[in-house]
Structure 1
C-alpha cells in the first residue's frame, strides 16, 4: 500500500474523521457532542474501528442520539443495536457503560457536554480529565474525543495523540503537535489527525 508523505496527500487519501464516518456532523451543540462521546466509548476497547463506527451508526439509527434517549432506552435495546453492528464480546458491558455514562451526562452536566467545556475553563488537560470521569473513557478515549472535537473546541488544538504522532514519525513528518499543526489550516486539524491514525492502523 502506498503511503502519502505530505499533509496534502494524507488529507486527500485518508482525511475523513471518525465522527464523519459515523454520520456525525460535528457542531458545538449537545447532540453531536454526545454522539461523539458515544463513539469514543465504542472505540475505547480492543475492537476494529470500522465495527465501532458501525455501532455508533446503529445506536443513532435506533434514536439514541442524546443522553436522555440513551438512558431511556432499555439495556437490551442497546445490546441489540450493538449486535446489529457485530460489536461482539463487549456488547453487554458496553451497553451498561453507555447507559451509566448517559445518566452521568444528565446528572453532572444537565445533558449538555458544553458545560464540561465551561467547567474546564479553556484548559485542554482539564477537559481530558473530566472526560475520563465517564464510564469506559480512559486516556485513549479522551484523546480520541480531543482529536475529533478540536474542530469545534479550539482550545484543544493541536490535538495529535501518540498514535497520530507515531504515524507521522514513520512518514517523515513532524513528530510534535505544534509541528504537525503548521502543515494545515486550523479547520483541517481533525482530518489530519484522523488521517495519521488511519495510516498507522493500516500498517
Structure 2
C-alpha cells in the first residue's frame, strides 16, 4: 500500500475501533491510584484464556462490588471476589483469579503503598523495567504486562508508542507496516492507547480488519 492508503486504513480503524479496553470497562484512566489499580485488575482478567468481553464485564462487576482499590480488594472475603467474578461471567478461572487478585492487592500495598505511580517511579522511564515489575504481580505474565502498558501509555507518555507483537499482528492483517515506528508515524497525533487498542481488535477479529479495509477502499 502507499503511505496515503496506509494512513487512510489506520485512521478508519481507530475511528471505528479505537475504544480502549479501560474505557470499555468503565475506567476513566488518569494518573491517580484508583484508575491505575483498576487497569491493573483489568489486565489480570484479560490475561486468562477467556473472551475479552467477559473479562471487561468482570472488571465492571468487581468495581460495582466496591473492589476499586488494593486495600478493599485485599480486605474483601475471597468468596466476595469469586461471586463478583461470577456475576461478570468469569467462571472458568474464578477461584484461582480471586486468589491472585487478593495476593496481587497485598503486593501492591506492601511494595508500592497501594499507588502504582511508585511502580512507575521505580521503573525510572525504562519500559523494559516497567514490564518486568508488572510481572511480579500474581496473574500478570508477559501478555498481561503488555495489556497494561498498551493502555497506560495514555497517561504515562514515556511508555508511548507501545506497540507490541499483538498490535503488530493486527497491522499485518490490515496490510499495514508491522513496524512500531512506521505505524506511529502514520498515526500522527492519534492517542497511542486508542491506536494500540484498535490494532489489537483487528488482531483478535478478522471481521474488524475486513470492515476497515472495505470502508477505506
TM category (shorter chain) comes to over 0.9
> In structure 2, what is the equivalent of residue 192 of structure 1?
195
Which is worse superposed, 40-49 or 174-183?
A: 174-183
- Tell me the equivalent position of 1:38: 41
In structure 1, the residue matched to 2:143 is: 140
SS at match of 1:175: coil
Could you tell me how far 1:86 is from its partner in structure 2?
A: 1.0
TM-score (norm 1): 0.96
Give 1:177 deviation, angstroms.
Answer: 1.4
Counterpart of 2:187 in 1: which secondary structure?
coil
Equivalent of 2:170, from 152, 167, 175?
167
Q: CA RMSD in A?
A: 1.2
Distance 1:152 1:186 in 2: 15
Q: Helix, strand or coil for the counterpart of 1:182?
A: helix
Q: How far apart, in 2, do the equivalents of 1:132 and 1:186 lie?
A: 30
In the TM superposition, what are the counterparts of 1:60-71 in structure 2 within 5 Å?
60-71=63-74
Partners of 1:150 and 1:189 within 8 A in 2? yes
Point out the more displaced range, 164-173 or 98-107: 164-173
Structure with bigger gyration radius: 2
Question: Are positions 1:177 and 2:180 aligned together?
Answer: yes
Unmatched 5+ stretches in structure 1: none
Structure 2 gaps of 5+ residues are 1-6, 207-217
